[in-house]
Amino acid sequence: MNWIGVKAIYLHEMDRMRRTIIQSILSPVISTSLYFVVFGSAIGSRIPLIEDVSYGSFIVPGLMMLVLLTQSLSNAASGIFFPKFLGTINEIYAAPLSSWEIVMGFVGAATSKSIILGVLILGTASVFVEISIAHPLVMILMLVLTALTFSLLGF
């Protein structure tokens, strides 16, 4: 197993996220904030508490999963599509990496980016509504598995 090659692909993809921070981080966070403002205030004010859960708190898991699913798919797909489009994929093919190692690098980076966004969305949501997580380990496991599965699907 060529861990140096996997690490190189992973770090290159994470560096691409740092270079495009506005479109990869700020855009999903701002759009989710708009969901909270629009749906939370417009619709949430008309819906009563249901079992002591406000509408704003109710939509947090759905918005987190919405961002996680779309970002997992798009990060993995764009991670492999753009090198192919630009013609730089030949550098990856020429490296002494197996297909499994290439997939691990790209999918690992897409999964990491999606989990980072999920945590940022949770932090953004806590600014707008009160959040209580009943089963934090189950939540973390579901975030990781969902990000990994949809990153593999996007790749």
Could you report the per-residue pLDDT of 28-66, keeping only the tens digit for each?
889 888 888 887 777 777 787 878 888 888 888 888 999
3-class secondary structure for 105-152? HHHHHHHHHHHHHHHHHHHHHHHHCCCCCCCHHHHHHHHHHHHHHHHH
* Those residues with Cβ within 8 angstroms of residue 129's Cβ, 6 or more apart along the chain or in another chain: 36, 40, 54, 56, 57, 60
The answer to pTM > 0.85 is: yes
pLDDT tens digit sequence for 93-137: 888 888 899 899 999 999 999 999 999 999 988 888 888 888 999
Sequence ranges of the domains in the chain: 3-31+55-154
DSSP 3-state assignment of 66?
Answer: helix
3-state secondary structure of 50: strand
